[in-house]
Amino acid sequence: MPRLKLDAIDLRNGQIRISDHLAGHHGNFRLMPINLSLNNLSTLEENGRYTLHAEMEGGGRFDWQGSMRLQPLQSSGEASMQGLPLASAWDYVRPHFAAAKPDGELSVNARYQFDMSGASPDLTISSLSASLKGLKLRAPAGDGMLDLPELRVDGGALDLSRSLLTVAKVELNHGKLAASRDAAGQLDWLRALPPTKPEAKPAQPAKPSPWIVKIDNLRFNDWHAAWRDQTFVRPMQLETAVPLLQGKLSIDPDHGLKLDEAGLTLADLKLAAAGGMPWLTLDKAELARR
């Protein structure tokens, strides 16, 4: 790489316009204002300190500050995305999950280190935290809906070279979940998934993912769940409060998905035919697995 050295770049109130035609969808995005400050950008063996601030027209703010070296490519610093509306990125999700654009805003903060000096890229992320507020998502058919006022992720870390993701705590608070099955036996949420393509020949068994995922504390606090099944002569309805569902979740190539130290509390459970009196009620139940 030829030698390059820039003492300073200072950009204020810039704009970027993007037109995206992914999968037949036409989307226009605008980042504004963009404030960029670079000092001592060089291909020499020295680091420069940089800052970047950008805001999206539809909402959301991105901030980054850190150091960077171009030869070899190395960077470390802190990055945050605040108040990103889920709807603004939903056209990228829709080909894989065909539901209407949801409400909700996502915020993420993390520290990182990136290094391209070795044979393969090395990326580590630490102090990862995230929050999702005001999520409202509807199934493409039926009564299915998900309302989640708050999701919080704390104490996250990622190591790319070790294929390892660890999270200290994930909390999902005050949620409501409803699902239904129609008279033909079709689940409403499954209608959002793309149709399965027929295999020309039997597929070879896929190798398990090398990734290891560990969530030390997974908690669902103060939830309400509802199920409606129309395959019966009189549609069946099940409703229950879920004051608490918790456990330790792990995924690895050897053991697959595991849930340890699980605990579940149910309250005010009612099972009835549509429009009729409940024929099963349960004030409270607690289940635990160690």
Q: In 3-state terms, what secondary structure has residue 91?
A: helix
Could you give the CA distance from residue 246 to residue 2 in angstroms, rounded to a whole number? 55
What's the rounded mean pLDDT across residues 207-229? 95
At 28-54, the pLDDT tens digits run 555 556 666 655 555 455 556 777 777
pLDDT at res. 18: 64
Q: In 74-121, which ranges are continuous DSSP H helix? A: 90-93
Could you give the CA distance from residue 20 to residue 91 in angstroms, rounded to a whole number? 10
Return all residues near 43 (Cβ < 8 A) that are at least 6 apart. Answer: 1, 2, 3, 4, 5, 70, 71
What's the rounded mean pLDDT across residues 78-106? 92
Residue 273 has a CB neighbour count (10 Å cut-off) of: 14
Could you give the CA distance from residue 66 to residue 79 in angstroms, rounded to a whole number? 8
pLDDT at res. 259: 93
Residue 124 DSSP code: E
pLDDT at res. 1: 46
Could you give the CA distance from residue 258 to residue 251 in angstroms, rounded to a whole number? 6
Residue ranges covered by each domain of the chain: 1-71, 74-195+207-289
The confidence band for 289, taking pLDDT boundaries of 50, 70 and 90, is confident
At 220-271, the pLDDT tens digits run 999 999 999 999 989 999 999 999 999 999 999 999 999 999 999 999 999 9
Q: What predicted TM-score, i.e. pTM, was given to this entire model?
A: 0.82
The confidence band for 199, taking pLDDT boundaries of 50, 70 and 90, is low
Could you give the CA distance from residue 191 to residue 227 in angstroms, rounded to a whole number? 16
At 126-136, the pLDDT tens digits run 999 999 999 99
Whether 203 shows a pLDDT value over 80: the answer reads no
Return all residues near 130 (Cβ < 8 A) that are at least 6 apart. Answer: 106, 107, 108, 109, 151, 152, 153, 156
* Per-chain mean pLDDT for the chain: 86
Whether 102 shows a pLDDT value over 90: the answer reads yes
Could you give the CA distance from residue 74 to residue 72 in angstroms, rounded to a whole number? 6
